[in-house]
Chain A
C-alpha cells in the first residue's frame, strides 16, 4: 500500500484544525467551494504528506521540514495594510502592477478586488469566490487534481485567499502584473496560498510571481496556482525564487490550454532551503504550445526539485522544456520531466532538455527526462547532461589572461545565460542577469534583497564581469 502515513503529528494537527476552524474556513464559501474543500480534505486524510518512498518524492525529503512546529493563520488580518510599509519595489524602470500576499492573505489598500477599464479584474481570491461565482464555478479546483497529491489536497482544503486575475476576451494587458508572496511573521508559519488566473480568448498577459521572506523564521509555503488559457490567449509567466535558508517552498502550477494558446513559464531559483516546482500543463486544444524554462543556482545544503508534466492530449501541439542548473557544495537537485503524448496527439513536437553542472563531487543531481508516446507521427526528443565546466573553454578563456576563478564564473554565467536570455521583458531580464552575476560571485545571498526590494540598487547596464571580488 502506497499510503504509509508519516508525520502523523502534523497531519492530525491539521485534521483537527480543519474541524475546529470550520466556521472560518467555510464561513464565506459558496456551495461550490465547500464541496471542493470537503472533497480535498478527504483526499488529504487519505493521502497524507508525501514521503521519499513515493516515486515522485524519491529525491526530495520533507521529513525535516514537516517536523517543525508550525502555526497557521486561519483568520484574515486587519485590512488596509500599507503595502509600502512592508514592501518596496526598486527594480529600475520596471513598471508593474503589483499585487501582494502577506502571510497568505491578499493585501489591499482600497478595495479587495479592482476592475480595470479594459475589464480586467485583479484582487483577492476570497472576494472573487463571492463576486464571480460563475468564473469560480467553471475554473476553481478544475485543474489542480486533489486526488493524487497530498499537498494539493491539503492546499485545497485550507485555501482561503490568494490572488485572482481575470482577463476578458481580446484584452492585451500592457503592464506586467507582479504577484508577490511575502512571509513576515515572528512565528513559524505554514501557508496554503492559492491563486487563480483566467485568460479569456485572445487575451495576453505577463505575470511575474515572486517569493520572498522578510524575516528568518522557518516557513513552509505550499502554493497552488491554477491557470486557464482560453483560445489564442498567451501568458508570459515568471517565477523568481530567492528564499532564505529556513524556507520550504512548494510551488505547484496547473495550466490548462485551449486551442492556439501559448504559454511561456520560466522559473529562476537562486536560493532556498528546499524549493519544489511542480508544473503540470495540459495541452487540450490544437496548435497550443508550452515553453517551460528554468534556471537553478544552488549551493550549501540547498535543494531544488523541478517536476514537469506535459500532457499532449490533442494533435499539433508543441512543448519545449529547457532547464539548466549549477550545483555547488552539498547542494542537490532533482529534475523529473514527463511528457505524455496521447494516442490521438499526432504531429506533436515535444522537446525536453535538462543540463547540469556539478561544481563539487558532493553536489548531486537526479535527472529523469521521460517521454511516454502513444502516437506514431511525432517529433520528440529528450536529453540530460551532467558535467563539469568545459575544459577546452576554460583553457581558451585563461589563455587570454583571465584567471581560473574568473574563467569559471564566466563559464557558469554563460551557461545560465541561455535561460536568462529567454526572458522577454527587457527590464526583468537585465535585473535577473545582474542577480545571476551577483549570485555566481557569491554576493547575492538569501538576505532580504529579493528581486523586488533590493536596498543596494545597482547602476544600469555595465555589461562586464569585473570579478575582482572573487
Chain B
C-alpha cells in the first residue's frame, strides 16, 4: 500500500530524515518509535503533504501513485489520514459542518453525490457509539476549548467518520489519561481490517499495550535504525533508547 524508498527530507536546508525506507501493506499496523526530535513528526507530515519540507532524495509510492505529486487534500481524498499530535483549534466551525464539508469534498473527488443530511447524522451517531463517546460534539467548534484528551478523541472520531485507508497517528497517546487512551485504542482496533493500514507514531511503549503492532521501527537521528516485531517495543521500554545508541 505504502512504499517509502530511500527518503531524505530537509527543512530550510537542514536534513531531518535520511534514507528512510518503509513498506506498509494492507491489514498491517506499524509502530514508529523514537526519542523526541528524531524526525517522527516530519515523516508523518511528509506523507500527509505539509508544505515547507523538501524531499531531497527518494520517493513515496501509495497505491501505485507518486504521493509527492499530490496536494494535501488529494492525498486525503485518496484515503490518507493524519491524526495530529497537536490538533488545531478552529473556532467558529462546528464539527458537524467541518466533517460534512470534508466528507462531501472527498465524495466529490470520487465522483459521488454529497451525503444526505440524515445519513450523515446517522453516521455520526453510529461512530460515536462505536467509540463509546458521550460528548455532545456536534455543535462544538472544532477542538475549541477541548482538553488534550478530547482533542485526541476527536481526531479518532474524525478518522472513524472519514474511513481512511492509511491512518498515521502522530503521538496520539501523548498527554492522555487511561480512559482517553482506551478510546483511541478502541477506535484503532475497531476500525482495523484487512484493507486498511495504520502507522502509530509514539514515544512510549504504553499505547502498544492497547494497539498491538505487527512491526516496530525505531527512528533515531533521522534514520530507521532498527525494525522488528511487537516484542521489540517491550525491549525498548526496558532498556531505553540508550540501548539503541549503544548499538550504533
A residues whose Cβ falls under 8 Å from a Cβ of B: 390-393, 395-404, 406-407, 410-411, 413-418, 421, 462-468
Q: Of the 9-residue stretches B29-37, B54-62, B99-107, B186-194, which lies at the interface with chain A?
A: B99-107
How distant is A398 from chain B, measured CB to nearest CB, in Å?
4
Is B90 in contact with chain A by the CB < 8 A criterion?
yes
New A-B contacts (4) at CB < 8 Å, excluding given A414-B90, A417-B91: A391-B51, A399-B73, A406-B105, A464-B100
List residues of chain B with CB within 8 A of the CB of A407. Answer: 73
Evaluate contact between B49 and A410: CB separation under 8 angstroms: no
In the bound complex, how far is the Cα of B97 from the Cα of A466, in angstroms?
A: 9
Q: Are A400 and B100 in contact (CB under 8 A)?
A: no
Q: Which of A399, A418, A464 contacts B92 (CB 8 A)?
A: A418
Known: A395-B72, A462-B117. A402 touches B90 (CB 8 A): no
Mind listing 30 A-B residue pairs with CB under 8 Å? Answer: A390-B88, A391-B51, A392-B88, A396-B87, A396-B88, A398-B71, A398-B72, A398-B73, A399-B49, A399-B75, A400-B76, A400-B102, A401-B73, A402-B73, A410-B98, A414-B91, A414-B92, A414-B93, A414-B141, A415-B92, A417-B92, A417-B93, A418-B91, A462-B117, A463-B94, A463-B96, A464-B97, A465-B97, A467-B101, A468-B108
Q: Cβ of A398: which chain B residues have Cβ within 8 Å of it?
A: 49, 71-73, 76
* Contact of B65 with A by CB under 8 A: no
Q: Is the CB of B93 within 8 A of A413?
A: yes
B interface with A by C-beta (< 8 Å): 48-51, 71-73, 75-77, 81-82, 84, 87-88, 90-94, 96-106, 108-109, 114, 117, 141, 158, 162
A416 to B92, CA, bound (A): 8
Majority secondary structure, B binding face: helix
Q: Chain A residues near B108: list those with CB within 8 A.
A: 468
Chain A, Cβ-Cβ closest to B104: A466
Which residues of A sit under 8 angstroms from B103, Cβ to Cβ? Answer: 401
Contact of B162 among A390, A401, A421 (CB under 8 A): A401
> Within 8 Å CB of B114, what residues of A?
466
B100 to chain A, nearest CB (A): 5
B111 to chain A: closest CB distance in Å?
A: 14
Contact: B162 with A410, CB < 8 Å? Answer: no
A411, B90: Cβ atoms closer than 8 Å: yes
A403 touches B49 (CB 8 A): no
Contact A404 B90 (CB under 8 A): no
Which residues in B have their C-beta under 8 angstroms from that of A414? 90-93, 141
B84 touches A396 (CB 8 A): yes
Chain B residues within an 8 Å CB radius of A465: 97, 101
Cβ–Cβ < 8 Å partners of B162 in chain A = 400-401
Leading 5 A-B pairs by shortest Cβ distance: A417-B92, A414-B92, A401-B76, A400-B102, A398-B72
Q: Select one of A390, A399, A403, A410 contacting B93, CB under 8 A.
A: A410
Q: Do residues B88 and A403 form an inter-chain contact, with CB atoms below 8 A? A: no
- Which residues from A are CB-within-8-Å of B96? 463-464
Residues in B with CB closer than 8 Å to A396 are 84, 87-88, 90
> Which A residues are CB-close (under 8 A) to B84?
396, 399
Taken together as a complex, chains A and B put the C-alpha atoms of A416 and B93 apart, in Å, by 10
Q: How far is the CB of A306 from chain B (nearest CB, A)?
A: 21
Q: A397 touching B90 by the CB < 8 A rule?
A: yes
Contacts of A416 in B (CB 8 A): 92
The reply to whether B77 and A463 contact each other, CB–CB distance below 8 Å, is no
Q: Is the CB of A401 within 8 A of B106?
A: yes
A389 CB → nearest B CB, Å: 11
Which residues of chain B are near A395, meaning CB under 8 Å? 48, 50-51, 72
From residue B75, how far is it (CB to closest CB) to chain A in Å? 8
| Neighbouring A residues of B51 by C-beta, 8 Å | 391, 395
Q: Which of chain B's residues has its CB closest to A463's CB?
A: B97
Query: Measured between C-beta atoms, what is the minimum distance from A247 to chain B in Å?
Result: 29
Q: Tell me whether B77 and A401 are in contact (CB under 8 A).
A: yes
Query: What B residues does A404 contact at CB under 8 A?
Result: 71, 73
A393 touches B88 (CB 8 A): yes
Q: Is the CB of A464 within 8 A of B73?
A: no
CB-nearest residue of chain B relative to A462? B117
Query: What is the bound-complex CA distance between A399 and B96, given in angstroms?
Result: 17
A411 to B84, CA, bound (A): 18
Check if A403 sits within 8 Å of B73, measured CB to CB.
yes
- Tell me the nearest residue of chain A to B96, going by C-beta: A463
In the complex formed, the residue of A with least CB distance to B158 is A400
Q: Given the complex, which residues of A lie within 8 Å of B92, measured CB to CB?
A: 413-418, 421
The 8 Å CB contact of B101, one of A391, A410, A415, A417, is A410
Q: How far is the CA of A402 from the CA of B158 in the complex (A)?
A: 13
Checking A399, A402, A466 against B48 with a beta-carbon cut-off of 8 angstroms, the contacting residue is A399
Measured in the bound complex, the distance between the Cα atoms of B97 and A413 in whole Å is 12
Bound complex: CA A92 to CA B106 (Å): 33
Most chain A CB within 10 A, of B76, B101, B141, is at B101
Chain B residues with CB below 8 A from A417, complex form: 91-93
From B87, B94, B99, B102, name the one whose CB has the most chain A CB atoms within 10 angstroms.
B102
B101 engages A406 (CB within 8 Å): yes
Report the separation of the CA atoms of residues A200 and B82 in the bound assembly, to the nearest whole angstrom: 58
B106 to chain A, nearest CB (A): 4
Give the shortest distance, in Å, between A394 (CB) and chain B (any CB).
9
Q: What separation, in Å, do the CA atoms of A428 and B92 have in the docked complex?
A: 17
- Closest A residue by C-beta to B72: A398
CA distance A463 to B73 in the complex (A): 22
- Determine if A401 and B90 form an interchain contact, defined as CB atoms under 8 angstroms apart: no
- Tell me the bound Cα distance from A404 to B73 in angstroms: 8
Using CB atoms, name the residue of chain A closest to B84: A396
Contacts of A390 in B (CB 8 A): 88
A9 to chain B, nearest CB (A): 47
Select from chain B the residue with minimum beta-carbon distance to A468.
Answer: B108
Query: Please, which residue of chain B has its CB at the minimum distance from the CB of A410?
Result: B93
Identify the closest chain A residue to B120 (Cβ): A464
Shortest B125–chain A CB gap in Å is 17
- By a CB distance below 8 angstroms, the chain B residues around A411 are 90
Most buried by A among B71, B93, B99: B93
- The smallest C-beta distance from A365 to any residue of chain B, in angstroms, reads 21
What separation, in Å, do the CA atoms of A467 and B105 have in the docked complex? 9
B148 CB → nearest A CB, Å? 16
Residue ID in chain A nearest B48 by CB atoms: A399
A396–B109 alpha-carbon span in the complex (Å): 18
CB distance from A80 to the nearest CB of B (A): 46
Nearest Cβ on chain A to B73's Cβ, whole angstroms: 5
Tell me the bound Cα distance from A369 to B100 in angstroms: 39
Q: How far is the CA of A393 from the CA of B50 in the complex (A)?
A: 11
CA A398 to CA B158, docked complex, whole Å: 13
Could you tell me the distance in whole angstroms from the C-beta of A464 to the nearest C-beta in chain B? 5
